[in-house]
Structure 1
């Protein structure tokens, strides 16, 4: 069990067949560590997470997939670049997992935590948010993959023990070609 209080969400983790070089157990451990991080979704009593096996119906499934499969699953906005959440699927683009994004300004590990937290945030009902001001950390629900807009990279929904949000909204950033 990840977290001590709040709504319990059961999740499964999957990696698309044919993706080489990513250890499924290590990937699942990273996902669990992200949810249970000291500033993660389960850290303040609103959410609990439990990874379940194929014999149990999950509340959502976190998938690591190729850009092509991302477009098939995510549907309405094919771009081969971003990740998405659609229904009960949290879909991470393996190209972003492996390479991150240009000018992110933080380590690839930080970006990976951001990917998980951002797309899971959508599954938790959260919308996109805007940078609260130059030099401030970006809210985890800001589309940091497409641009920081003066903010600094941030992977976590809580900062200093408090929810960290920006105003609802999104920028009209172009999506790079993969």
Structure 2
């Protein structure tokens, strides 16, 4: 392998055998036979330039080699093959657990997509309520969602069995059951991607953000269950209670309602996920033993 230098003298066009005389015969003073010919000043300068060029080239090559070695020694000591599982941006949920994303999760710690299969809670709750028809419900939690089905069921049981919930009408009783055949409706806790697909089956668009209700199905979005909504102004437990009562209210035939006025409690059938419209957060359909509601609005 050859190397180039900053200066490469042009090759002599004369034949190889004639090169020495061709280089020295111009303006050379006469000499006697056997006497070496003195080099002309121009030739001596050319030789000095060549020596300087060769020396400069050697210095540059040595400096380059030293710099390369210093860079190599100062380089990182981690492996070259970096992990492709970089932290995901919460601002772009499509990067988390989308198609082919495996088990990636958002920084907040819950998956945004799952397998679409569910695990049912075991056991049954006592019958809650004093009178009226009995509505049985079942609890299912999406697998690999990081949530325990029995724990979620216990939270839902406590909400629907509270005297401020729908049983306060005195015309309804509720009970959780494990058998699908015995249930009047099922309450699902599903990842955003799965909940979106489930809601879309009924023609509802949730954009992976909201929960929904279809006939016989109450679908709670895991993202809302884990972090509520911005500027809700109340603890997460209040939002969780609200979303259970709101979606189950739809299953019981309730429609959306409006905020009665600034500073007033928000009706549980108000779409509090989209904002309170001046009201304050409220998770219960009954306040101080009285059914609390607002003006009906369009939609369900």
Normalised by the size of structure 1, how large is the TM-score?
0.92
Higher strand share: 1
Equivalent position of 2:155 in the other structure: 30
Cα displacement string for residues 11-67 of structure 1 (whole angstroms, at most 9, x for unaligned residues): 0000011111x2221211110110111211112312111111126421100000011
Pairing of 1:125-144 with structure 2 (within 5 A): 125-144=253-272
- TM-score w.r.t. the length of structure 2 is 0.55
> Structure 2 regions of 5+ residues with no counterpart?
1-126
Alignment RMSD, CA only?
A: 1.3
Corresponding residue number in structure 2 for 1:111: 239
Contact 2:241 2:283 in 1 (8 A): yes
Give the Cα–Cα distance (whole angstroms) in 1 for the partners of residues 277 and 183 of structure 2.
36
More relative contact order in 1 or in 2 (CA 8 Å, sep 6+)? 1
SS of 2:135's equivalent in the other structure is: strand
Structure 1 residues not aligned, in runs of 5+ = 172-178
Closer, same or farther: CA 58–131 of 1 in aligned 2, 3 Å: same
Q: Does 1:9 align with 2:117?
A: no
More deviation, 23-32/100-109: 23-32
Q: Secondary structure at the match of 2:238?
A: helix
Distance apart, 1:170 and its partner CA = 5.4
Residue deviations 1:77-123 (CA, integer Å, cap 9, x gap)? 14100000001000000000001100001110000000100000000
Q: Answer with 1 or 2: which has the greater Rg.
A: 2
CA contact (8 A) 1:143 1:170 kept: no
